[in-house]
Chain A
Amino acid sequence: MSNRITLKLKEDKKLLSIYFTAGYPSLNDTVKIIEDLEKNGVDMIEIGLPFSDPLADGPTIQESSTAALKNGMTTEILFEQLRDIRKTVSIPLIIMGYFNPVLQYGVEAFCKKCQEIGIDGLILPDLPLDVYQDDYETIFKKYGLINVFLITPQTSNGRIDQIDSASDGFIYMVSSASVTGSKSGFGQEQENYFERIAKMNLKNPQIVGFGIKDEETFKQATKTAKGAIIGSAFIKHLTAYGTDKTNEFISLIR
């Protein structure tokens, strides 16, 4: 069977991907949030495995991670919650987190578990390209997992080419030099960056993340890119309105 991410990327549409922190607002919201997102037409989901020290995240995701850990979320519990997820959900599911919890679980054990559940890919921002290639690529591949790398406006073209050839799904295009949740709206700098990347004709499609929060930013980001990822804005929505209003949030995007 082909990886669900690969299949999804072939669809002739702009993709909406949503990030949420597992275990937030309440420990057992994970499955409901995933099911509701799919029902409301979301194309792909990033399930955040919370970490105590999320270096690349702004206050919104930090606070949701702290709350999730306080609620008792652990790697084991997340896997347990997701055990039957493929009975009800068919869109691609990605686990996004930091490398240390994966390392402690055991990278191979973690990947094996992901395959059993039906996870399609991983995003581990602090697992660098060279370490991945030297130590973990064969394991990820063995369990059918796509590893997603990030690029930023500061990433050199040479490095982007390297990342493109190491990727076999999509490239996570960080919209601006920032942690998650910190910028409001896109300016000329982003437009230039989006166009520069589009002109590179990379083999992997790009999905834009960081700073997408509404219809306007989603449209701007997906003018050239294949899709966009919303994180902090959705977490804020969960904080404000709980888990029953996912449809309202999605309807504001598209």
Chain B
Amino acid sequence: MNYNADEKGYYGEFGGAYIPEMLYPNVEELRQNYLKLMYEDSFQKEFNQLLKDYVGRPSPLYFAKRLSEKHGCKIYLKREDLNHTGAHKVNNTIGQILMAQKLGKTRIIAETGAGQHGVATATVCALMGMECIVYMGEIDIARQAPNVARMKMLGAEVRPAKSGSRTLKDATNEAIRDWINNPVDTHYIIGSAIGPHPYPDMVTRFQSVISEEIKWQLKEKEGRENPDYVVACIGGGSNAAGTYYHFLHEPEVGIIAVEAAGKGVNSGESAATSALGKVGIIHGCKTMLMQTIDGQITEPYSISAGLDYPGVGPMHSHLYKSGRAEFYSATDDEAMAAGLELSKLEGIIPAIETGHAFAIFEHKKFKKDDVVVISLSGRGDKDLNTYIDYFKLA
């Protein structure tokens, strides 16, 4: 089976470009050019140089000894948290800002949930001297205050999304509306492996550096390129897509996705899309989607703003439906506990999104010799306020 996008952007039955005609010229321009541009030698050279000198790649693959002892398997951490700006998001924004420049765009818009993608976008806009507008749900602005401040310092304008659930979904709606209103000079840097084709494929390719590095790093450490499992948390699915990419067609590598169960999958306050969703259309693509029987998109919930999204990228819907990946979900409490455990055992405070991936040990027992690579997608600095409130640290 093929797990990559076909020419029209379909992963099995999922994907495509369900966009209003107003977006057609922009999306079509991107579709026709993205592969050609991103594999030009000059593009690759600049991209790789920036990833190395500016982002600090390769990010380490770290053997987590104490965590491994605790959970009875060999755990490696892919340290995306050590990237400049503190998460995997910057891999994609570096790629897309170069793409925007090649396309002659002068104005950048983005949506953000946790603020990590907003910060990563504001950062590359500062780097390239481009105008930057970030849409962010009102609720997320309140719960991710440090990242709002960072974006402002970096020169971006943060515009609150005040409709609907006032979180990531609505910020994305507002960004799309902005793009409709500004079709000529603006590039929309989508922050996850979602949206109309070619976005899921493009974002996945920019993030695929994660699994590319895992391969040679693991070879150095374990004498083999393929782990037994790769594990990642899924919001829209960009860190997961990048972590899985070079293993998708390696059947001996188990692929594990962890979604946000919020207060429990059946609590009515959850973001566990694979468990609660049905096939539908959101933000221009056909994918698994949390919705009412009537096709109205429902409001998800998670303690982590970055996973608080009612859909998943189309690649992940396909991995789920085809059975290629195992899907689990972790509650708020499980994710917070896993984050605390990682802090205490390894001296690494993860983002709350990332904490969900580490809650996998609550749900799955690994064998002693299993090599398990976990995507440590981001650091916890932005979440300190939530950690303080939750663990009564103050």
Contact = CB atoms under 8 A, between A and B. Distances in A.
Nearest to A127: B18
Interface string B255-286: 00000000000000000000000111111100
Contacts of A62: 163
A150 interface: yes
A177 interface: yes
B295 A102 contact: yes
Interface stretch (A36-44, A50-58, A139-147): A50-58
Interface string A145-169: 0000111101110010001000000
A100 B183 contact: no
Interface in A146-204: 149-152, 154-156, 159, 163, 174, 177-179, 182
Given A56-B180, A104-B280, A126-B281, A159 B295 contact: no
A83 B191 CA distance: 44
B182 interface: yes
A182 B281 contact: no
B53 interface: no
A197 to B, nearest CB: 14
Given A62-B163, A100-B282, A100-B297, A55 B20 contact: yes
Contact of B297 (A52, A59, A66, A182): A52
A150 B22 contact: yes
A174 B294 CA distance: 28
A53 B283 CA distance: 9
A51 B289 CA distance: 15
B291 interface: yes
B164 A104 contact: no
A53 B21 contact: no
A88 to B, nearest CB: 27
Contact of B294 (A58, A74, A130, A152): A74
B282 A53 contact: yes
B177 A100 contact: no
A155 B24 contact: yes
A190 B180 CA distance: 16
Contacts of B8: 130
B181 to A, nearest CB: 5
Contact of B173 (A55, A75, A156): A55
Interface in B1-29: 8, 16-22, 24-25
B176 interface: yes
Contacts of A177: 22, 180-184
B32 interface: no
Contacts of A242: none
Interface in A4-46: none
A55 B177 contact: yes
B104 to A, nearest CB: 15
A103 interface: yes
A159 to B, nearest CB: 7
Interface string B292-327: 011111100000000000000000000000000000
A101 B294 contact: yes
Contacts of A103: 279-281, 295
A102 B25 CA distance: 25
B271 to A, nearest CB: 16
A98 B294 CA distance: 12
A233 B351 CA distance: 46
Given A51-B296, A53-B173, A103-B295, A128 B183 contact: no
Nearest to B176: A55
Contact of A174 (B22, B182, B295): B22
Contacts of A99: 18, 281
A131 interface: yes
A100 B291 contact: yes
Contact of B18 (A105, A126, A150, A156): A126
A74 B295 CA distance: 9
B294 A150 contact: no
A157 to B, nearest CB: 12
Interface of A: 51-53, 55-56, 58-59, 62, 66, 69, 74-76, 98-105, 125-128, 130-131, 149-152, 154-156, 159, 163, 174, 177-179, 182
29 contacts: A51-B296, A53-B169, A55-B176, A55-B283, A62-B163, A66-B163, A66-B164, A98-B281, A99-B18, A101-B294, A101-B295, A103-B279, A104-B278, A104-B291, A104-B293, A125-B20, A125-B21, A126-B281, A126-B284, A127-B18, A128-B24, A131-B16, A151-B21, A152-B22, A154-B25, A154-B183, A154-B184, A155-B25, A177-B182
Enumerate the 9 nearest inter-chain pairs by beta-carbon distance, A residue then B residue, closest first: A104-B295, A101-B295, A125-B20, A150-B21, A52-B296, A100-B295, A100-B281, A154-B25, A56-B20
Interface of B: 8, 16-22, 24-25, 163-164, 169-170, 173, 176-177, 180-184, 278-284, 289, 291, 293-298
